[in-house]
Chains A and B, each alone.
Chain A
Amino acid sequence: MRYRPDTMIAPPPPPPIANRLTQADLHDARRRLLDMHFHARAGHLGGNLSCIDALMVAHHEFLGADDRFVLSKGHSAGALYVTLASLGHIAHEELASFHQDNTRLGGHPPPHGIAHIKFATGSLGHGLSLAAGLALAARLQNNPRRIICLTSDGEWQEGSTWEAAIFAAHQRLHNLTILVDHNGLQGFGTTHDVASMNPLADKLRGFDIEFRNADGHSLDSLRTALAPGTDRPVLASLRTTKGHGVPGLAGTLQSHYLPLTPAQHAAAIAELGMLP
């Protein structure tokens, strides 16, 4: 007898949004992220700034205590640490240890020691499989928990990510939401110039998943993107800007690796101060 994956558990009803964020909350997180990276002289800032809004909305408004999150784009660990600090899971004071010797907060999420980080990531192409496994485990254990996974857009050049997408779609893992931080830039060029899959949406629509497009820097758009799905995985492509909010750095390749200069840091903080 052959067993086809099915939807043995009815999808949970959309939970009420209990902890609604304000734009000020997002600004505060962004300010903390800028300060943390600047003082640590850490790079990889651009991809952190492109996804921190999504991380904040996912964690504050959608993920419950028993839900799971996998940061497949592990180089955005800073944005995750700041988000967890905003929830009280990491002390704000500890953020000062980011990227320093003897820290728990390395450049990529650690395997142990932080309760809300389940997996060490950083090598791209692992997180979606891990998230799919968590979603499958929830189904097998009859648990209605939800799993959200954030991938980068360059990460879809990894074959293992496509293995995971095939698996998640075939298994109809309706409790899985996949976010793509579609900022269009990778380590050494644009995703279009390096190994184009643009428009990525057209490739992903071929899977039996629910596809959504969203503005990755808009509260309302992110809320729509993150709403639970129905009977299949949800994939939300988030239009974002690498280095978002840093004058002169936003949308540039430099934002991938280079740390902030004092002038860039000051300009970014000043711009945040002017925003509503």
Chain B
Amino acid sequence: MRDALCAELVARAADPSLVFLTGDLGFMALEPLQTALGPRFINCGVAEQNMVSVAAALASEGLQTWTYTIAPFCYARAFEQIRNDICLHNLPVKLLANGGGYGYGVMGPTHHALEDYGVLLTLPGMHVLVPAFTQDIAATIARAAITAAPTYIRLGRGELPKGQTAPAYAPWRCLLPGYQGAAITTGPIAGVVWDEFLTLDPANRPSLWLVSELPITANPPPGALIAALAANPALLVIEEHVSHGGLGAMICAYLVHNAIPIARYQHLFARGYPTGTYGSQNFLRDHAGLSRVDMHAAVRAIGGGI
């Protein structure tokens, strides 16, 4: 997604209000943006707290301000700066965070972001965009650019299944039909779920839904999804994020508040590092409760499968 991100921002570089701050990241990726923006591309160095506060001040003066670093260095390192300097003042800073979930794989847990949107959505006014496919980047950047609120953009590596076409971007998308309730996911792992669900007969799988804008209260589920749950009150949520504060919790709260009953519920989420060893993003997913086997088991548990 990084190259697409760069191209999209380069296309916007003529806007004199656009300012891009990086925390010393972007080597062999963002050089075209650096050239296009000139003095409006600022490498703030290895100093994320300062970068976020500087961004808040730039936004307070009417500049369209983007920051870029890897996800944990954004939401975790600079959390108080995001809370106090951006969110308390409702400033529309766009926080680009690369490597959501286990995205940085074998680089290890200091480089992973398993709690990011859950933590950030506790803050007032915060919006989160989670593109799933590289093809979503143009719409994601366009949406972030016009959002008049603090926005966190969780980036990753698109994993579109072979032979499939990414559906046009929308805050909610139905990726696959199915008749065993509904499954909801977010971010690039959607591609893996989609690929795995293709092995199941539609009669024996839930419909698969992708949400790309959080919180759910600002982007409620579409009527067709609610109808699917009314017809078969079975729900599966899959996310590359911890359970606490995650998509599953958000969806469940929404359903309870709206008196929508669920009879069978399964939640696949990032369970940390059960093996105590390092590995690729897929290795970590497989051992943290997000394997394809786990997906099949969860589908069976809500009434589908085979």
Residues of chain A whose beta carbon lies under 8 Å from any beta carbon of chain B:
1, 3, 5, 8, 111-112, 118-121, 123, 125-126, 129-134, 136-138, 140-141, 159-160, 163-164, 166-167, 170-171
> Which residues of chain A are near B1, meaning CB under 8 Å?
none
In the complex, what's the smallest C-beta–C-beta distance from A126 to chain B, in angstroms?
Answer: 6
Cβ < 8 Å to A, chain B residues 49-101: 49-50, 52-58, 60-63, 80-81, 84-85, 88-89
Give the complex CA separation of A138 and B63 in angstroms: 10
Give the complex CA separation of A171 and B42 in angstroms: 9
Give the complex CA separation of A170 and B19 in angstroms: 18
In the complex, what's the smallest C-beta–C-beta distance from B149 to chain A, in angstroms?
Answer: 15
> Which residues of chain B are near A167, meaning CB under 8 Å?
44-45, 47, 50, 54
In the complex, what's the smallest C-beta–C-beta distance from B120 to chain A, in angstroms?
Answer: 18
> Which residues of chain B are near A138, meaning CB under 8 Å?
61
The answer, among B63, B80, B84, for a CB contact under 8 Å with A140, is B63
Given contacts A120-B84, A129-B54, A137-B61, are A111 and B89 in contact (CB under 8 A)? Answer: yes
Give the complex CA separation of A163 and B42 in angstroms: 15
Task: Determine whether the beta carbon of B58 is less than 8 Å from that of A133.
Answer: yes
Task: Determine whether the beta carbon of A133 is less than 8 Å from that of B45.
Answer: no
Give the complex CA separation of A41 and B52 in angstroms: 36
Given contacts A3-B39, A126-B81, A126-B85, are A163 and B57 in contact (CB under 8 A)? Answer: no
Give the complex CA separation of A74 and B181 in angstroms: 53
Question: How many residues of chain B get a CB closer than 8 Å to chain A's CBs?
Answer: 30
Task: Determine whether the beta carbon of A134 is less than 8 Å from that of B61.
Answer: yes
Determine if B204 is an interface residue (Cβ-Cβ < 8 Å). Answer: no
Task: Determine whether the beta carbon of A166 is less than 8 Å from that of B45.
Answer: yes
Given contacts A3-B34, A3-B38, A140-B19, are A126 and B53 in contact (CB under 8 A)? Answer: yes
Task: Determine whether the beta carbon of A160 is less than 8 Å from that of B53.
Answer: yes
Given contacts A133-B57, A141-B61, A167-B50, are A111 and B88 in contact (CB under 8 A)? Answer: yes
> Which residues of chain B are near A125, meaning CB under 8 Å?
49
Determine if B117 is an interface residue (Cβ-Cβ < 8 Å). Answer: no
Give the complex CA separation of A121 and B88 in angstroms: 10
Given contacts A123-B80, A125-B49, 13 further A-B contacts (CB under 8 A): A5-B39, A119-B85, A129-B49, A129-B50, A129-B57, A133-B53, A133-B56, A136-B57, A137-B60, A137-B61, A160-B53, A163-B45, A166-B50
